[in-house]
Amino acid sequence: MSYEAQRAWLADDPDPQTRAELAAVLAAAQDGDTGAQEDLSDRFAGRLEFGTAGLRGALGAGPNRMNRVVVLRTAAGLTRYLQQTLGRTQVTVVIGYDARRGSDVFARDTAGVVVAAGGNALVLPGPLPTPVLAYGIRRLGADAGVMVTASHNPPQDNGYKVYLGDGSQIVSPADRDIAVAIHGFPTAASVARVEDGWTTLGDEIVQDYVDAVCRVVEPDGPRDIAIVHTALHGVGSQVFHRAFAQAGFPTPTAVPEQAQPDPTFPTVPFPNPEEPGAIDRSLDLARKSGADLVIANDPDADRCAVAVPDPRHAPADRDTRSGRRADTDHWRMLRGDEVGALIGARVLQRGVADGEVLANSIVSSRLLGAMARATGVPHTETLTGFKWISRVPHLRFGYEEALGYCVDPAAVRDKDGISAALLIAEYAAALKAAGRTLLDVLDDLAAQHGAHLTDSFSVRVDDLSVIDRIMQRLRSAPPAAIGGREVVQADDLAHGGRSLPPTEGLRYYLSDRTRIIVRPSGTEPKLKIYLEAIADTRGAAHQSLAAVRAHMEQLTAAL
């Protein structure tokens, strides 16, 4: 076997750590180590492709990994794209980074490439949440922004997220055009880079962000709420606590072992609040401290998870002052759709200006749309991802079920886990003052619009061709019934329609209004199945949802 590509990479790589890593694997492969040979094959199976999610992948040497060579080429391609499309050399790029391994190095490399090409690079003052970067792009009038983060991916990953000057993440055709520009720089040696010349921003940009997000809450609103917060070893703690203090809330209780950034994520195997067990430490602390609310951010703090005491499983005696059962041992995490409905209810309660729009992704619940129609407010559905939600004209509030909420599009045109946390905390405090809870509001919404219950599951694969095979079989032999319910409408989302551009996915509507969406993940090797049942009662909706989920799990496993 020839190892010319690997030797060429070694000669080009400016990073001594990844050079040493690759040299060791190469030596073992040449000695006949089959594991090393398979490792090399995977590292050089292709290039880490730039798309609408930017870049995301495992750290390591080779073109199919996140490393300095890949980042230098990407930064050069992005800068060239900006210069060509804007018709000027002096473009301005704001650069942020989280606390994952390599993030600060990738940020400096990006700044060095932008400056070497004749542009201006503005680097955030330290590891900070993604929403600070999204805010800074518009606040500073930049042409683009780069956030070095892998969000809630596993510890071995890192990523490179790109925003354009309106503060929104890139969409097609910008992603394809940037990818073409990247190919114009085949090696790290072909990229000009300097070691200084960029501007490192001061704390003023963070304070400006905090000032902006604090305006989402009413200055004289109730603040009596006891909160437990976890940053899941990410970069959210400092800014989260700063914002809550400035907004006048009592100091949230931090989960101490998860409060500081740690790229190894030692207490969570998968640093995503949605994953089972991820917020267990938060719930334990909430039970011990008698908290009213648990709020969890993902590692780059653009997502927000909420957990509440659930009175349905507690003793019958009610504390009339707080509106909660006296025993708070029973907690549950709200689904993203439930938090979306609660924030939507708060937004509608405050009033929406003429022409402003509520929005959610197609895989999110239909409840927000029902709420909007009942109050005469425009509502729209978008494709999955905030790159679409944030681009809705006249957006007032938008969300997706994966714990992403945009509550102040004028300041942050992206999901923001800190401003969402402020708004949900204010709502919970106002309800507590009135002797009610967030769960009471969800009950009210179910009584008015029907019980909307959502669920989802994923089929993880090692071979992406498995996903293609499942999608092809579902298209060639669509099910006539699912979970004992007739399929009354089947949509191939690849054809677009109803104001939606084409996307890979299938959508089914059943006779009892249950909806199923099947789509490949855009960032992970898995097929995602989203379910929603609507019924007059929660029990009936739950029964439908359970039956449909069981059938879909069997169906996808058989394919």
124 contacts 136 by C-beta, under 8 angstroms? yes
Q: Which residues contact 211 (CB under 8 A, 6 or more apart)?
A: 246
The alpha helices in 311-352, defined as continuous H runs, are 336-350
Tell me the C-alpha to C-alpha distance, in Å, between residue 474 and each of 40, 322, 351, 471, 518: 35, 50, 43, 5, 10
Please give the Cα distance from 139 to 485 (Å, whole number): 51
Measured from the Cβ of residue 224, the count of other Cβ atoms closer than 10 Å reads 13
DSSP label of 335: P
What DSSP string describes 501-526?
A: PP-S-EEEEETTS-EEEEEE-SSSSE
DSSP label of 398: E
Among positive and negative, which fits the CA dihedral 399, 404, 405, 406? negative
The span from the first CA to the last CA of the chain, in angstroms, equals 36
Select which of 151, 168, 361, 364 is catalytic. 151
**Strand, coil or helix: what is 323?**
coil
Measured from the Cβ of residue 139, the count of other Cβ atoms closer than 10 Å reads 18
**286-301 exposure pattern, b = at least 16 Cβ within 10 A, e = fewer:** bbeeebbbbbbbbbbb
Please give the Cα distance from 168 to 4 (Å, whole number): 41
Q: Which residues contact 536 (CB under 8 A, 6 or more apart)?
A: 450, 451
145 contacts 94 by C-beta, under 8 angstroms? yes
Q: Which residues contact 23 (CB under 8 A, 6 or more apart)?
A: 10
CA-based nearest residue to 408, from 140, 142, 212:
212
Q: Which residues contact 276 (CB under 8 A, 6 or more apart)?
A: none
Phi/psi of residue 394, nearest 5 degrees:
60, 35
Q: Is 282 a catalytic residue?
A: no
Please give the Cα distance from 371 to 49 (Å, whole number): 40
Enzyme catalytic residues? 151
